[in-house]
Amino acid sequence: MADIFLSYSIRLILTIVVIIILAYILFKFRAKKNATRSSLDIMKERLEKGEITEEDYRRAKEKQGKK
């Protein structure tokens, strides 16, 4: 009887550990995938695409207090 209880306990613990590890891996993967970009990064990207002028980019930088 004790052997059965021990067997189920070990299985339960291992299952919980595996679920925690999978949750951690998924969380880390999603965090990297959904990394936020700053507004200045977006403005720089738009400058490189030619959507805004150098002057617009410079003003955006000054607004954020960056040089």
Q: Within this chain, do residues 40 and 57 fall inside the same structural domain, yes or no?
A: yes
Q: What is the pLDDT of residues 55-65, one digit of tens each?
A: 999 988 888 87
Same domain as 22, residue 52: no
- Same domain, yes or no: 43 and 17: no
Q: How many CB atoms lie within 10 A of CB 43?
A: 20
Shared domain for 19 and 40, answered yes or no, is no
In terms of domains, do 15 and 41 share one? no
Q: Which domain holds residue 1?
A: 1-35
pLDDT, tens digit (0-9, with 9 covering 90-100), for 12-28: 999 999 999 999 999 88
This prediction's pTM: 0.45
- Please tell me whether residues 8 and 30 are part of one structural domain: yes
46, 29: one domain:
no
Mapping DSSP onto H, E and C, the string for the chain reads CHHHHHHHHHHHHHHHHHHHHHHHHHHHHHHHHCCCCCHHHHHHHHHHHCCCCHHHHHHHHHHCCCC
Please check whether residues 43 and 64 belong to one and the same domain.
Answer: yes
